[in-house]
């Protein structure tokens, strides 16, 4: 295992997900259901599947598209979505 990549990924995901809408949803679900462990297990399972799909797609894309182009494309999508949200289009 490459610990440098592991720690960089962990730190990036941890900081990016801190305080996002998923945490608020989990908080509300755990409070409403009073079964925090079920909410925890379901959240871990769902996020694991989403991550598996995303990492698999990234691994597949990098065989056909240069990583720099993927990064520029992702950055452009974030800017476009941010502008659309800013102007109330989505």
**pTM given for the model:** 0.65
Query: Does residue 24 sit within a domain?
Result: yes
Query: Does residue 83 sit within a domain?
Result: no
- Residue 19 confidence (pLDDT): 78
- Residue 67 confidence (pLDDT): 86
- Residue 3 confidence (pLDDT): 94
11-68 pLDDT, tens per residue? 988 888 877 888 888 989 999 998 899 999 999 999 999 999 999 998 898 899 998 8
Instruction: Catalogue the long-range contacts made by 1-5 (C-beta closer than 8 Å, 24 or more residues apart).
Output: none
Query: Does residue 81 sit within a domain?
Result: no
Mean pLDDT of the chain: 90
Query: Does residue 52 sit within a domain?
Result: yes
**Which whole-number Å values give the CA distances from 55 to 8, 48, 60, 62, in the listed order?**
15, 10, 9, 11
Task: Give the tokens for residue 23.
Answer: 């945490």
Domain count, the chain: 1
Query: Does residue 33 sit within a domain?
Result: yes
Query: Does residue 70 sit within a domain?
Result: no
């Amino acid at each position: 295992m490459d610990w440098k990549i592991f720690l960089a990924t962990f730190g990036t995901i941890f900081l990016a997900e801190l305080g996002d809408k998923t945490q608020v949803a989990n908080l509300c679900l755990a409070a409403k259901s009073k079964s925090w462990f079920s909410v925890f297990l379901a959240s871990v399972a769902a996020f694991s599947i989403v991550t598996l799909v995303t990492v698999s797609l990234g691994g597949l894309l990098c065989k056909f598209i240069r990583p720099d182009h993927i990064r520029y494309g992702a950055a452009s999508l974030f800017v476009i979505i941010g502008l659309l949200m800013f102007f109330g289009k989505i």
